Structure 1
Amino acid sequence: MTLLLGVILFGVGLLLNVSLGTSDISVSTVIQALFFIDHSKDSLIVQQIRLPRVLVAVFIGANLAVAGAIMQAITRNPLANPQVFGVNAGASLIVVSSTVLLPQLTQQQLVYSAFLGAALGGLIVYYISDGGNARPAYLAIAGMTVHFFLSSLTQGLIMFNENTTDSVLYWLVGAIENRNWNHLKILLPWSIIGLVGAFLLSRSLTMLSMGDDMARSLGARVGFIRGFGGLLVIILAGCSVAVAGPIGFVGLLVPHIVRLMVGSDYRYVLPCSALFGAVLLIYADIISRYIAYPYESPIGIVTAMLGTPFFLYLAYKGGKSHE
């Protein structure tokens, strides 16, 4: 039932996303444009502008949701996600640094900068939070402190290079506007590697989520699982940040909702997180088009509006449970 609900929401959202905008296009025209090539205005809008954009949203939503689910499994902390763990902020810092200091780098090369930054931010929070095992409230404080510190360094770099301020500031909020087939080509191979690797690791993550001792008694290699899981998080979050900026709270919100629906078996949690992460960003992208209509807003604004109250609730709940 959960998968059926997700597939229905996904299909409806996909059609609505491609149909709605400053120039509304009928659903029948959208369906025709998806299967037949012609040179009409509406067909070109669908095929060259809206379809690659929504596919970018699909893969980024899936990537960030699965990355959050993996982080919560390997740390057994409900607040662990790329935003709180400094992964997004670290990737943003190194991408912006590379853009400012090495403007000749291509978009493909910036992905590697994002991987490096994601690893940097994640490792800092991992070590100061006792390997991610600190209580949720402490992890929230430590993670957001690192997040704001790295973000302040990013803002400082932007201040000293005003020529890139407008585009970079918009990107830093998290945006998929003007993303095209080239961006999808950059995102797709890394997304496939990360998602397939996560699905293959799902059984081990289920054992790890029950505790290190239990996982070892079941024959799991705890160190390898944590290391490989961390690498997958870097790949999934890094390529997403490189293409669309640090879109926050997807990795926090979606895995929690999915676990309420399917339980804690990661063989179901991960694919459902990927599906509902894609659904979340598809609908968030639609909403972002109408916040300041006819102008478009960054999609990160919508996910922050949804995720911030949920984050505060989890932090409060985690703090109360340890009093």
Structure 2
Amino acid sequence: MRAPSTVTPESAERSDPPGSSARQRFAAGSIDLAVVAAPLVVGWLLLGSVGAGQADRAVFGGAALATAVALWVWNRGHRDGLRGQSIGKARFGLLVRDRATGGPLGVRAALGTRRGAETLTVAGALADGFTPRAVDGSRSAVRRRRLWGLLCLTAILVLAVLAGIAVGARPLELGQVVHAVFTPAHTETDQLVQTLRIPRTLLGVLVGVTLGVAGALIQGHTRNPLADSGLLGLNAGAAFLVVLGIHLWGLTAPGQYLWLAFAGTLIASVVVFAFSSAGGGGPLTLVLAGAAVSFFLQALTNALVLLDPKSLDGYRFWVVGSLAGRGPDILWQVLPFALVGLALACANTPSLNMLGLGDDLARGLGTNVLASRIVGIAAITLLVGAATAAAGPIAFVGLVAPHVVRTVTGPDYRWLVPYAGIVGAIMMLVADVVGRVVARPGELQVGIVLAVLGAPFFIALVRRRKLVGL
């Protein structure tokens, strides 16, 4: 039992505990300050560089402030209060604790004045008996945290929807946005919001949800943490039929080759599943069949593009992935398929937990592996087909979203699938909003923004989590 120190609380923060230096504490504090200041700086740069209107200032300013506060509470409160290490302290091997008890400060104390706290090295704290506060691992506590997580993600999604409606290539006042949403008339701004921004935002939600859920299903069925729709050849099938339609019939608008993209996804999935079944039907043969079909279709697509420059012009705009130029008609055409795919995904999630144990063990526990694979492939085909037909091949959503939520939900697909859908929708909307404002009066396609932001984020996630196991 550690004896209480005679140092008064008022002098605790001013003292130099053995093993830590003022330089280390200053460097760690600078990193923690940078973590909180980063979203504020990004928000300020966005507002200062795009000729922001009133709605833009409200959206980006509010988002930057909320993100900074959330990071401060998480880093200074939860990390410091429960584990004793903020990001900065972890970088320099420091740890903060309560001087009187020798244990963690607690969240409230860490967010407060920190009277009676001391900072020392990790080695010194552990040698002195410091133990991080254990997280409640009971079933009720885990379920409660997951429900709170779903609620928070839903709230963020609602805010992202509002941002998608309020922010665009043309700056608007908040009053104009409110009038266009609740009491629309025939003014130019009302028509802009009603006919362009609202359908585009709803389509972004649909595409994000379908890609997030499909990514979780694909990774579950293949037991491959790097699997996405491209690995199973679904994007390649859609691309080949789109290029074929442009080459043979001169199609130019997204609504014209919508069904070709969907049919290409369907055909590719049937071929991949047939080859996989012939090879035993396991996750490895599914991946190998998908890779083979994908390479073959990509070769055919490249041949058509090289032979016909007109096909190249139409294909290069579709293959980037975009929500621009998609009207309400496209949303209503793909919505039924997406809803059926989501229903099949919900039915498929319980068996995914069993398949994660291995096909043989899943059969021993009463799971019909073949039926589960068929339902899963059907759900993936409908979801990816709807998203790809509507917006083109979008990268990183189906890959990153399941990894992000797996750090919270674990491998339980009953929670992972809905989490991944909501996170996918948030990713799509945020990328779309950023793409609208960074290149005003033009815009960047959502596929480009997701690739620019998603690649470094995923690399950081992999380095930190070591690819969380399936």
Is TM (by shorter chain) over 0.5?
A: yes
Q: Pick the aligned partner of 2:336 from 189, 197, 206.
A: 189
1:272 aligned residue: 419
Instruction: For residue 165 of structure 2, give the secondary structure of its aligned residue in structure 1.
Output: helix
Name 1:263's counterpart in structure 2.
Answer: 410
Alpha-carbon deviation of 1:123? 4.7
1:210 aligns to what?
357
Q: Which residue of 1 is the match for residue 448 of structure 2?
A: 301
**Amino acid in the other structure paired with 1:72:** Q
1:46 positional shift: 0.8
Please give the alpha-carbon distance, in whole angstroms, between the structure 2 residues aligned to 1:213 and 1:234.
25
Kept in 2, the 8 Å contact 1:255–1:269? The answer is: yes
Answer yes or no: is the 8 Å Cα contact 1:94–1:114 preserved in 2: yes
1:113 is matched with: 263
Distance in structure 2 (CA, Å) of the matches to 1:140 and 1:87: 12
Alpha-carbon distance in 2 for matches of 1:72, 1:16 = 31
Q: In the alignment, which residue of structure 2 is the partner of 1:13?
A: 160
Are the counterparts in 1 of residues 243 and 311 from structure 2 also a CA contact under 8 Å?
Answer: no
Displacement of 1:225: 0.3
Question: Greater RCO between the two (CA within 8 Å, min separation 6)?
Answer: 1
Q: 1:110 to 1:15 in 2, by over 3 A?
A: same
Q: CA separation in 2, counterparts of 1:286 and 1:121?
A: 37
Give the 3 Å change call, closer, same or farther, for CA 18–261 of structure 1 in structure 2.
same
Letter in 2 for 1:176: L
Distance 2:276 2:257 in 1: 28
- Structural mapping, 1:276-295, within 5 Å: 276-295=423-442
Q: State the distance in 2 between where 1:52 and 1:320 align.
A: 36
TM-superposed CA distance for 1:67, in Å, is 0.8
Alignment length (residue pairs): 318
**Deviation of residue 253 (structure 1)?**
0.3
C-alpha contact (below 8 Å) 1:291/1:297 kept by paired residues: yes
In structure 1, what residue type is equivalent to 2:325?
N
Q: Which residue is 1:54 aligned to?
A: 201
CA contact (8 A) 1:115 1:239 kept: no
State the TM-score, normalizing by the size of structure 2: 0.60
The residue correspondences of 1:53-132 to structure 2 (distance < 5 A) are 53-103=200-250, 106-107=256-257, 109-119=259-269, 122-123=272-273
Tell me if structure 1 keeps the 8 A contact 2:245–2:257. Answer: no
Residue 296 of structure 1: SS of its match in structure 2?
coil
Q: Which residue of 2 aligns with 1:247?
A: 394
Contact 1:68 1:81 in 2 (8 A): yes
Return the offset for 1:261: 1.2
Post-superposition offset of 1:166: 2.9
Deviations 1:31-70 (A, max 9, x none): 4423333112211111100111111111111111111111
Question: How many Å separate the matches in 1 of 2:350 and 2:155?
Answer: 27
- Give the partner amino acid of 2:389: A
Cα RMSD (Å) of the superposition?
3.4
Whole-angstrom distance in 1 between the partners of 2:279 and 2:423: 29
Higher helix share: 1
Q: Deviations over 1:116-149 (max 9, x none)?
A: 34426755996899857449xxx99997786565
Is there any run of 5+ residues in structure 1 with no aligned partner, and where? none
- Show the counterpart of 1:178: 325
Letter in 2 for 1:228: V
> In structure 2, which of residues 344, 356, 377 is the aligned counterpart of residue 230 of structure 1?
377
Mapped pair 1:166 → 2:313: yes
CA 1:311–1:283 in structure 2 vs 1: closer, same or farther (change >3 Å)? closer
Kindly indicate whether the alpha-carbon contact (under 8 Å) linking 1:58 and 1:282 is maintained by their aligned counterparts in 2: yes
Larger radius of gyration: 2
1-structure distance, mates of 2:183, 2:271: 45
Query: CA offset at residue 274 of structure 1?
Result: 1.1
Q: What stretches of structure 2 of length at least 5 have no aligned partner?
A: 1-147
